[in-house]
Amino acid sequence: MDRLTSYLPLLPYRDTQMPLLIETPSLFLFVPADRPDRYAGALESGADAVVIDLEDAVAAETKSIARSMLVDRLLSVPVATVPVLVRVNGAGTSFHADDLAAVSCLLQAGRMAGVMLPKAESAGHIRAIRAGLALPAAIVALVETAAGLALADEIAGTADRIAFGSVDFAADIGCDHSREALLHARSRLVIAARAAGMPAPIDGVTRAIRDEEAIESDARHGAGLGLKGKLLIHPAQIAPARRGFAPTEAEVAWSDRVLAAMGNGAAVSLDGQMVDAPVIARARQIRNNHDRTSNGHP
Is 3 annotated for ligand binding?
Answer: no
Is 72 annotated for ligand binding?
Answer: no
> CA separation (Å) from 88 to 33, 70, 166, 210?
10, 12, 18, 27
Query: Cβ contacts of residue 47 below 8 Å, gap of 6+?
Result: 27, 28, 29, 82, 232, 235, 238
User: Beta strands 273-275 and 268-270: pairing type?
Assistant: antiparallel
Q: Residue 297 is which amino acid? A: H
On the 0-12 / 13-18 / 19+ scale of CB atoms within 10 A, 12 is exposed
Cis peptide before 25 (omega within 30 of 0): yes
CA angle 174, 178, 179 (to 5 degrees): 125
Q: Which of 162, 115, 118 is nearest to 136 (CA)?
A: 115
Is 168 annotated for ligand binding?
Answer: yes
- Binding site for Mg(2+), by residue number, is 144, 168
Provide the annotated binding site for substrate: 87, 144
Binding residues, by number, are 87, 144, 168
